[in-house]
Structure 1
Amino acid sequence: MINFNYTKATSLKGALDAIGKDPNARFIAGGTNLVDLMKRGVMTPQRVIDITGLPLKGIQVHKGGLRIGALALNSEVAEHPIVKAQYPLLAEALKAGASAQLRNMATVGGNLMQRTRCPYFYDTALPCNKRQPGSGCSALQGYNRMHAIFGTSEKCIAVHPSDMAVGLAALDAMVLVQGPRGERRIPIGDFHRLPGDTPQIDNNLQRTEIITGVELKANNFGEQRVRYLKVRDRASYAFALVSVAAVVPLDGNGRIRNARIAMGGVAHKPWRLKPTEVLLEGKAPSEELFYTAVRASLKDARTYGHNDFKIPMAESALMDTLLSLTTQNQQR
């Protein structure tokens, strides 16, 4: 790890002033991702700005919904009574995302900002367009078992590792950011980026901005018909091969209304399945309907050899989730 300078921010303005003055500075909170990247030489900030003292840890009702501060710990959010009662999908995603030790350190803002765990990104001896633009993508012809099947480009096929972000995508969350020009509100679906020709840019946060929180709209889901399914190599802490975050409400006539479905482990960002949602709207649940909707969502998937299994795995995960959420006598 290279030598670096350390600054402790005591106010939001101070943090923004510090990041604005130093193009080689980075914010640090829990450090569960940045420190690893610094140790491996993948990221080499000359200054880290500690923001853990900022007043951004609150979890509170706001305009009928919920506002979660960027520095709220993943463990605190997952166990918060309002989250468990009204946003259980988020609680499930957080608990699936990491070990208890990591959840006790990781923050909501840091979770959104974490970078891919692609092994070629972490290996500085090998080409990686995300780490060094223009050097090439080693994963294209390499061991790409964990890599994307949606939204890829010839520059990058890495996936975003967050489980929390997938849950937030299904809940239509809003990311709150603050910068020199004031506050911005970014829909979670627009926060992360696909790789395109600029895979080194993970999201649409400007360098001189900071995430201050996440907002969730009011809903009446409760514990009914929501599920976070994570398929991984082992039951203990591991990144998703494929994950599904789903809300599938039924109206009084037993028809699907306003379903929301997102996937993880399959793209450079949480992947919202809009085609599936449209095909399900207003229809009575059935295995035939679900199969048609799932096939429509997977028709544009592209694999790269070692990750060919992800298409049938995604199909099975989606079918299992939809069937489990619409079983008449479902028990939770």
Structure 2
Amino acid sequence: MVQSSVTSLPACQNLCASTPGCQAIEWVPNNGVGSQCFTFTSSAVPTISASGINHYICSGTTAVTSTSGCSWTTYTNLQLFGGMVQSSVTSLPACQNLCTSTPGCQAIEWVPNNGVGSQCFTFTSSAVPTISASGINHYICSGTTAVTSTPGCSWTTYTNLQMFGGVVQPSVTSLPACQNLCASTPGCQAIEWVPNNGVGSQCFTFTSSAVPTISASGINHYICSGCSWTTYTNLQLFGGMVQSSVTSLPACQNLCASTPGCQAIEWVPNNGVGSQCFTFTSSAVPTISASGINHYICSGTTAVTSTSDFILSTIS
């Protein structure tokens, strides 16, 4: 739904975060009639390519179908000391994405022009800023960034080789950020880093673990093996297979990581018959509220049947 009164990306995000049932927004910087904000009651992952348009899925108290990300509270013209400058970050969405994928990060500050150009600062504190600073905005993340690795991504590098079919991630500005994005994205199995593509360095993500065969000087392709687990707290999905011999969450995750076709698990700490492990061959995001039950989606080469890229905060 178009929100004609909204004139900025932060205002669009704030509107969604404060609207019951809103789960996503889309920001169109110039749509013929000027920039536009669209709100969505669905957390479905977008699949239609659209240059310059970014789609944002909210996680936090408004969007109960995802717990891996941030609902951003904006403090306009206010700043906090003690942040760490992120010199490789060149846009507000990229700054937010970096924080979302960084354990312990709770807030960011965006300085549109700090004498040396725009700057991104990240914070490990959720303290409310109190220092007046014209033009500087402070953003505090609410929600839980629950991305853990067991054992995580082990990257196999294919030097000077590329593969077609990747999705460009325009907000990502470094190889580590590109790898972190993939590791925290359900269904992502590989990335490609192009250090200079005419328009600057670029990050591409892939839902396939196929080995690249196309020679391309300077381009490196990285395939993730193992599982990086994205956690959906108090949510479940039907259709899993109970694994009666498994008695702990780590054992449940390890079983899935070593089972071809397994893409997710569900851990039920007490199901009347004791704790239970369920495995899934689907990477669908759970939507059914279930107190005490956690659903974990694997990203990496174990998840071989996913067909869409899911970026936790911003989908371009």
Q: Normalising by structure 2, report the TM-score.
A: 0.25
Judging by fraction of residues, say which structure has more helix: 1
Judging by fraction of residues, say which structure has more strand: 2
Q: Normalising by structure 1, report the TM-score.
A: 0.25
